[in-house]
A and B are shown apart, each in its own frame.
Chain A
Amino acid sequence: MLNMQIELVKQLFRRTFTNRFPSKRIPKSVSGFLRSVERGERKMNPPVPVPPGFRGRINYDKKKCIGCRLCVKVCPADAVVFLEKEKKIRYHLFRCTFCGQCVDVCPTKALQTTNEFLLADYEKD
């Protein structure tokens, strides 16, 4: 018990370990809070930066796509669907498991991972 108590007392003089919430108190309206941050009225604690090579939301560049279907073949979650008419793909974000295998396999680099990770939403589009 004593060892833990020493640790706890030490902790009193240390910086808080957990990441800060975006705002100090829960705002009445989250979107209103974000808008006021954009206008520069209030300050927001920025999200924790991600390391290089983070597997976030996948960006699809339709112009570069040559319709080779390799990404359709390796996708474990059927997040990539091939469009027969256009010979292009459609990427479903809500099915994606963010493994990044399609990014590795893409021959023209039409698919790229981004650093975005705040993807939770109430709607599926």
Chain B
Amino acid sequence: MRKAGDIIGQESRDTYSICVGPVHPALKEPVRLNLRVRGERIEHVDFELSQVHRGIEWMGTRRNPIQILYLSERICGICNICHTFAFCRAVESIAGIEVPPRARYIRTIVAELERIHSHILWAGVAAHELGFDSAMHYAFRAREKVLDVIENLTGNRIMKAIMMIGGVRRDMDKGQARLVMEAADFYSRCSRKLEKIFLGDPVIKSRTRDTGILTRHDCLALCSVGPTARASGVRKDVRQDEPYGAYPDVGVKAMTPDEITGETRGDVYDRIAVRLREIKQSADIIGRCVKDMPEGKIAHEDKANVLLGELRGVQGEGIGRHEAPRGEVFHYVKLVGEEAPYSWKVRAPTYNNLLSWIPMMLGAQIADIPVIAASIDPCMSCTNRAVVTGPGRRQVLGQDMLHDLSVKRTRELRRGLRP
């Protein structure tokens, strides 16, 4: 059978095939959606990734771990702490480095500040997709404060560059602690206000209620992560399931919509509710972390050259997990006693969440595509992992194609071996 998107235009007497993207005003990042529609209803969904592959993992295998820290920040602009955090945890688990308690608290604070800024940015984008631009500007204004605090703490607004293997690079003084506390209070209030604006609005409610439903069963089958999974009623959060950093002391509980609206439907409305409530949760975590901040060292080793020498001597494999604003980030690193890692693999949360587009979009209307697409907070450039370019058409090697190639090669070799 022909796949949707093979041809663009009329497919049969009453179905049409349309494609959205790769570059499209409704999508913030390049991805191509191939849809078959009957009238206004979507009947079949498929999407093509790998429009922005950058080969970051390959670059990583030619750099030493300290250089990779800054490279991993560039995987995703918004969640730059998440990738660095996961990478640091992976390398620390290989080398058996113990992170000092103060550094763990500072890491947690910065990671939660990042979650606040990412969720508010997302709320603004979601409002914009719905055509509610005044709420978008309101959200972006609210986001400025957290960016200023991050700039004060780390030295830059977005690219924080504060992580170091075995600790953090900058300490937090009393004045900064006060600023962070003020910001935490502000965002507790701001989250309530945003909830009023978004959830109390009848237009947003009618537009997003029962749109893009992801059932609990589908969510478990497709391994969705992060707020997308939690909005479907799956209590899944790395901070709760496998606490790290300062989270064991704080005690995080996964946020599900039944605590906010009283019921779990798994629609876009629930995803908005979960994300907005997580802003408050993050503000509470930051408040507790600043209050209970222990004294002491902020890094396992201050001198980068000594640390590099130490890492050159270790061998082994390690994984690092972190709950990013969009879900679980997973890094795999293999060190073989050389300067550069032998292997580095990144799994970004959007990779899991993208598949949930299919059950969400089936049966929806064309006008709902931007809202549903934005509701999982996709980040394409994190996700793109493999692309093959050649003289002919560009193609992506799937598992079956790779397998066929391998079988072909074996046959060729066997033919060559025959006398």
Are A99 and B159 neighbours in the complex by a CB distance under 8 Å?
Answer: yes
* A54 proximity list for chain B (CB < 8 A): 151, 155-156
Of A70, A76, A98, the contact of B67 (CB 8 Å cutoff) = A76
User: Taking the complex as formed, is A55 at the interface, i.e. its CB lies under 8 A from any CB of chain B?
Assistant: yes
User: Taking the complex as formed, is B66 at the interface, i.e. its CB lies under 8 A from any CB of chain A?
Assistant: yes
Are A74 and B196 neighbours in the complex by a CB distance under 8 Å?
Answer: no
User: Taking the complex as formed, is A125 at the interface, i.e. its CB lies under 8 A from any CB of chain B?
Assistant: no
Q: A3-B196, A54-B155, A73-B305 are in contact. Are A97 and B134 (CB under 8 A)?
A: no
A78 closest partner in B (C-beta): B67
Are A17 and B135 neighbours in the complex by a CB distance under 8 Å?
Answer: no
Are A76 and B71 neighbours in the complex by a CB distance under 8 Å?
Answer: yes
Are A17 and B141 neighbours in the complex by a CB distance under 8 Å?
Answer: yes
**Number of A-B pairs, beta carbon distance below 8 Å:** 78
Q: A8-B134, A55-B155, A55-B156 are in contact. Are A74 and B202 (CB under 8 A)?
A: no
Are B156 and A97 neighbours in the complex by a CB distance under 8 Å?
Answer: no
Of A7, A77, A98, A105, the contact of B138 (CB 8 Å cutoff) = A7
Are B144 and A99 neighbours in the complex by a CB distance under 8 Å?
Answer: no
Those 3 A-B pairs whose CB atoms lie nearest each other, nearest first: A76-B70, A76-B67, A55-B155
User: Taking the complex as formed, is B400 at the interface, i.e. its CB lies under 8 A from any CB of chain A?
Assistant: no
A4 closest partner in B (C-beta): B197
* A50 proximity list for chain B (CB < 8 A): 151
User: Taking the complex as formed, is B200 at the interface, i.e. its CB lies under 8 A from any CB of chain A?
Assistant: yes
Residues of B within 8 A of A (CB): 63-64, 66-71, 73-74, 132, 134-135, 138, 141, 144, 148, 151-152, 155-156, 159, 161, 169-170, 193, 196-197, 200-203, 303-305, 308
B339 closest partner in A (C-beta): A73
Residues of A within 8 A of B (CB): 1, 3-4, 7-8, 17, 50-51, 53-55, 70, 73-77, 97-101, 104-105, 113
Are A73 and B151 neighbours in the complex by a CB distance under 8 Å?
Answer: no
Distance in angstroms between the alpha carbons of A74 and B307 in the assembled complex: 11
A51 closest partner in B (C-beta): B152
A7 closest partner in B (C-beta): B138
Are B66 and A74 neighbours in the complex by a CB distance under 8 Å?
Answer: yes
Residue pairs across A and B with Cβ atoms less than 8 A apart, 21 shown, are A3-B200, A8-B134, A17-B144, A51-B148, A51-B151, A51-B152, A53-B152, A55-B156, A55-B161, A70-B304, A74-B308, A97-B70, A97-B74, A97-B159, A98-B156, A98-B161, A99-B70, A99-B73, A99-B161, A100-B161, A104-B304
CB distance from B395 to the nearest CB of A (A): 32
* A99 proximity list for chain B (CB < 8 A): 70, 73, 159, 161
Are B303 and A1 neighbours in the complex by a CB distance under 8 Å?
Answer: no
Q: A53-B170, A97-B70 are in contact. Are A105 and B304 (CB under 8 A)?
A: yes
Of B64, B68, B144, B197, the contact of A7 (CB 8 Å cutoff) = B197
Are B159 and A1 neighbours in the complex by a CB distance under 8 Å?
Answer: no
CB distance from B44 to the nearest CB of A (A): 36
Q: Told that A53-B152, A73-B308 touch, could you supply 5 new A-B pairs with CB distance under 8 A?
A: A1-B202, A3-B196, A76-B67, A97-B74, A99-B73
Are B305 and A70 neighbours in the complex by a CB distance under 8 Å?
Answer: yes
CB distance from B160 to the nearest CB of A (A): 10
CB distance from A68 to the nearest CB of B (A): 9
Distance in angstroms between the alpha carbons of A57 and B308 in the assembled complex: 25
Q: A53-B170, A99-B159, A105-B305 are in contact. Are A4 and B66 (CB under 8 A)?
A: no
Of B74, B134, B170, the contact of A4 (CB 8 Å cutoff) = B134
* A7 proximity list for chain B (CB < 8 A): 134, 138, 193, 197
Are B202 and A53 neighbours in the complex by a CB distance under 8 Å?
Answer: no
Distance in angstroms between the alpha carbons of A53 and B70 in the assembled complex: 18
Distance in angstroms between the alpha carbons of A101 and B84 in the assembled complex: 15
Of A8, A55, A101, the contact of B304 (CB 8 Å cutoff) = A101
* A105 proximity list for chain B (CB < 8 A): 303-305
* B156 proximity list for chain A (CB < 8 A): 54-55, 98
* A97 proximity list for chain B (CB < 8 A): 70, 74, 159
Of A55, A70, A76, the contact of B69 (CB 8 Å cutoff) = A76
Distance in angstroms between the alpha carbons of A113 and B148 in the assembled complex: 19
Distance in angstroms between the alpha carbons of A8 and B137 in the assembled complex: 10
* B305 proximity list for chain A (CB < 8 A): 70, 73-74, 105
B132 closest partner in A (C-beta): A4
B201 closest partner in A (C-beta): A1
Distance in angstroms between the alpha carbons of A35 and B172 in the assembled complex: 41
Distance in angstroms between the alpha carbons of A7 and B144 in the assembled complex: 17
A113 closest partner in B (C-beta): B155
Distance in angstroms between the alpha carbons of A30 and B135 in the assembled complex: 34
* Residue from the set A8, A53, A70 with the largest chain B CB neighbour count within 10 Å: A53
Q: A73-B308, A76-B63 are in contact. Are A3 and B70 (CB under 8 A)?
A: no
